Amino acid sequence: EIVMTQSPATLSVSPGERATLSCRASQSVSTNLAWYQQKPGQAPRLLIYYASTRATGIPARFSGSGSGTEFTLTISSLQSEDFAVYYCQQYNKWPPFTFGQGTRVEIK
């Protein structure tokens, strides 16, 4: 099973600042990596797939990068609606599909 590890667990950021979230895979997943955003009481929403492709309707301030075992989600200028929990997920080798434990982005 591929283990996904996200860091940090919590990120405190002021509105307008940049946020950088990390995700590490226990073995290479190529670029078969997705990022999801989840707000309280809501289902997750797909942000990024194939490590760097924005999903439909996702603002350009969200960007993904990386390949192999190291990945980054960057939010260039945090808006109030971006404060949420973010999960990475690999779909390169399954079953199982595996998620990271999440990074909570909170208001500083």
Partner 1 sequence: EVQLVESGGGLVQPGGSLRLSCAASGFSVSSYYMNWVRQAPGKGLEWVSVIYSADSTYYADSVKGRFTISRHNSNNTLYLQMNSLRPEDTAMYYCARGEIYDYWGQGTLVTVSS
Choice between 16 and 96, CB closer to partner 1: 96
Three-point CA angle 13, 79, 47, nearest 5°: 95
Tell me the C-alpha distance between 101 and 99, whole Å. 6
Choice between 19 and 44, CB closer to partner 1: 44
Three-point CA angle 28, 13, 23, nearest 5°: 5
Applying CB under 8 A, the residues found at the interface with partner 1 are: 34, 36, 38, 42-46, 49-50, 55, 87, 89, 91, 94-102
Choice between 75 and 88, CB closer to partner 1: 88
26 φ/ψ angles, rounded to the nearest 5 degrees: -75, -15
- Rounded least distance, CB 95 to partner 1, Å: 4
- Contact indicator for 5, 89 with CB cutoff of 8 Å: no
- Contact indicator for 70, 81 with CB cutoff of 8 Å: no
Choice between 16 and 95, CB closer to partner 1: 95
- Rounded least distance, CB 93 to partner 1, Å: 12
- Rounded least distance, CB 16 to partner 1, Å: 28
- Rounded least distance, CB 27 to partner 1, Å: 17
